[in-house]
Chain A
Amino acid sequence: MGVDETTRVRNFHQAKWDEPIIFELSTEGERGVIVPEVEEDIERTVGDGVSELPPGMSRRQAPALPEVAQMRVLKHFLRLSQHCLGADLNVDMGQGTCTMKYSPKINEVLARSPKVAEVHPLQDADTAQGALEIMYKLDTFLQEISGMSKFSFQPGGGSAAILAMASIIRAYHERRGEADKRDEIITTIFSHPSDAAAAAVKGYKVITLYQNEDGLPDVEALKKAVSDRTAGLLITNPEDTGIFNPDIVEFVKIVHEAGGLCGYDQANANGILGITRASEAGFDLCFFNLHKTFSSPHGCGGPATGALGVRDELISYLPIPIVERSGDRYFLNHDLSNTIGKVRAFYGVFPAVLRAYCWIRSLGAEGLKEAACVAVLNNNYALEKIKKIKGASAPYAEGKRRIEQVRYSWETLTKETGVTTEDVAYRMADFGFHLWSSHHPFIVPEPFTIEPTESYSKAEIDEYIAGIEKIAAEAYAEPEKVKNAPYNSVVHKIDNSTLDDPEKWAITWRAYLKKHECK
């Protein structure tokens, strides 16, 4: 079929500890950690301290936290970690758009150094020159990679960077007295949901372009969307389908002519580093996810960074402070005339910045380009194999190349066997794989999105594809087997019905005890 007959799918079984909730481990009197007591002198001078608490502010009852001995806490959370399939442990191609590449461990060693961990953001700049230098230098690297003129690392993730872009766009039009008139932002259906949602937070009306038969937003559609009410365009390119929009320059031009600004959501930058840049396409703003393309680990969902870049004219709008250099001294500049203020405390997630810096230094210009090229090679290699699998298809862009990911469809499989993309994803867990469908709404029916990145070897990619093949075949032969998966995972079929019912949902253990029978 698509891979070597010798490629086998693992006889995997995830750890399954049946680990109770931490509260269930509580035993009266057990201690996890002891807090240092004050010296006698201090006790003599100020007494117990807590007597100073005003009436009504003194906690009457100790918080009902569990009492668990130290080793048991360790064991509990280590077991929970075994119930988690990090990218380090699996061929993590199946989380499309997330760019689950290798997070080099040397970068972890450096990020954990006390020279990072034990530094306070309000320290005098002279005592934090190392941190400021790293931030400044990464700024210059990203300027070169994107063609933008200045970067801020303050946004704590991609969505926060989009909010910052929308904020800058608004401030820009406000300065020209046009903020009330220009109240519409244009985006596309295959851009990240936050491109729409964050714009709405800033009060914008959102116009979403749906795709044409090629899976791309059409220039004709854009022309219908622009008007003198257009504030800007927020777009991902290539979009989550993996297709590069060849008309992107015209898109930017049309919006500029209408008086709007263009923001580039570069969540999908991994396949185009050193190949093409935001500035040549005409963008005014862009951001990169340091936890995607630039290798900072995902941490189960953060901490992360959305590195925000702008062209010259917009530098004064950036959130404060930005890092600047004078001679060989680095400092924080809070003095930007049109600043939008702040989007986050302090300056950003420094460990993420550091890791991105290390990654870029390790690879250099050639390495970055090679990473992009191999990511694209891996993706198109996977595409060749996957589209041959019975039941799978790759809608749009027939015969064309994709960049770093592909949105596939199990539509045929579902029609012919009743097995859905959700079912396949759960069965993939039985082999130690993830498989992600798509953001909502599902425009492509029964979608699954695969992004190999440059990190996995051919043998590993073959292993992943063999897994998909096996399950697709199983769907035709024994659909029930797929539909009742997973079997080798941490738990069996989850009952989701309570999660949307206010009478039954339990977001905390105490709520659970109140609403359901006590254990």
Chain B
Amino acid sequence: MGGRVGLKGTDGPEILEKAVALGAEPQSQNRTIECLSRLKTLKDSIELITCPGSMGEEASVRCGFSPKAISTTAGPITTASDTRSAARQMSDLGVDLLLFVGGDGTARDIYNAVGDSMVVLGIPAGVKIHSAVYACNPLRAGELAWLYLQGKAKNVLEAEVMDIDEEDYRRGRIQARLHGYLRIPYERRYLQRAKTGSPASEQYSQEAIAHEVAECMSGEFHYVVGPGSTTRAIMEKLNLTGTLLGIDLVHKKRLVGKDLNEAKLLERLEGKRTKLIITPIGGQGYLFGRGNQQLSPKVIRHIGKDNIIIAGTKQKINSLYGRPLLVDTGDKATDRLLDGYFRIITGYREAIIYRVTY
């Protein structure tokens, strides 16, 4: 679990036969078409595999493709299980890039089906999405897919999949858990829309951050380590195996608690001097409240605002285009406490001062 950022090499200048697959929800036809139209020039050199009828086939044909339709049990794909089944079929067919339209739910389903075994990319369906696996818009998804299939966007990075509780969401409360990481193609401008890093640079940045944080750690403190790939890099630097998605506890460079919930945290931190190491999670720039709810208002207040160490890659920060980082702890008073400027460690001997708000 937990795929790595890697470089995908090309096999030479000639265009290989590659396959692209789609899983689509009916109302996203237009978005599919917008995305696929950017791939038109490749229609004779790639193999397009999709779901029958209005689940992808129609849109593909409209864009000039001659797609191959996978078999499905019955009619249109509506359930999570159908999405997972389609994704697995495409994985079995050795598809190089899986494109899907939807939101956080779809991303979660894709992840449950294929994990980090293949490269995927999301075409946003227009709702607010917390998972970072989606391109900014269908046009950009198409362009990035085009570059990736041509071997021109060779880099792959891990992006968060957020699990949104649908019921709570409809009632207006967001409960987002960090569900896992999918591997998406990454070409500087098309996902992050900026030349923000060298090849495999997010990994390089994370290692640099880990170096810096590890250097600053002291045996006096207990360190609560939040979820995320950036904090995982810190754990790796310390030669510790924490939980990618959960909260761990480190003291004197040893792992003394794994995957702790709020209650356990409060119990373990009683009477101890503590610091908290966290990183923003998801595509919306949340520091608290998406994917790390175990860090409840009580926990945050116990640790203290001044003992919060934030680690974040520049890629992550710059993808916000100046929007502040956000907190949604569930308690307005705690949110207000966290409103203001924070130092964020962004590399080795590098930090920034950035705005956090609610």
Contacts and interface: CB of A to CB of B under 8 A. Distances in A.
A–B contact via C-beta, under 8 angstroms: yes
Contacts of A420: 189
Contacts of B314: 441
Interface in A395-425: 415, 418, 420, 422
Contact of A221 (B189, B317, B341, B349): B341
Contact of A220 (B137, B317, B318, B340): B340
A441 B318 contact: yes
B321 A221 contact: no
B351 A444 contact: no
A117 interface: no
A194 to B, nearest CB: 15
Nearest to A446: B193
Interface in B327-343: 340-343
Interface in B171-224: 189, 193-196, 199
Given A220-B340, A221-B341, A415-B137, A207 B189 contact: no
Contact of A210 (B189, B350, B352): B352
B47 to A, nearest CB: 23
A417 to B, nearest CB: 9
Contacts, number: 77
Interface in A215-229: 218, 220-225
B109 to A, nearest CB: 28
Interface string A437-457: 000111111100000000000
Contact of B353 (A207, A418, A442, A497): A207
B349 A209 contact: no
A205 B354 contact: no
A207 B343 contact: yes
Given A207-B343, A221-B341, A440 B352 contact: no
B322 A225 contact: no
Interface in A429-443: 440-443
B196 A441 contact: yes
Contact of B195 (A210, A442, A445): A442
A208 B152 contact: no
A422 B189 CA distance: 11
A332 B231 CA distance: 56
A206 interface: yes
Nearest to A226: B353
A212 interface: yes
A440 B194 contact: yes
15 contacts: A200-B349, A205-B349, A205-B351, A206-B350, A207-B351, A207-B352, A209-B353, A210-B322, A210-B352, A210-B355, A211-B322, A222-B353, A225-B343, A441-B318, A443-B321
- The 6 lowest CB-CB distance pairs between A and B, nearest first, are A442-B194, A205-B349, A221-B353, A441-B318, A224-B341, A221-B341
Given A189-B352, A206-B349, A207-B343, 10 more contacts: A207-B352, A207-B353, A208-B346, A209-B352, A210-B354, A210-B355, A221-B353, A224-B340, A441-B318, A445-B194
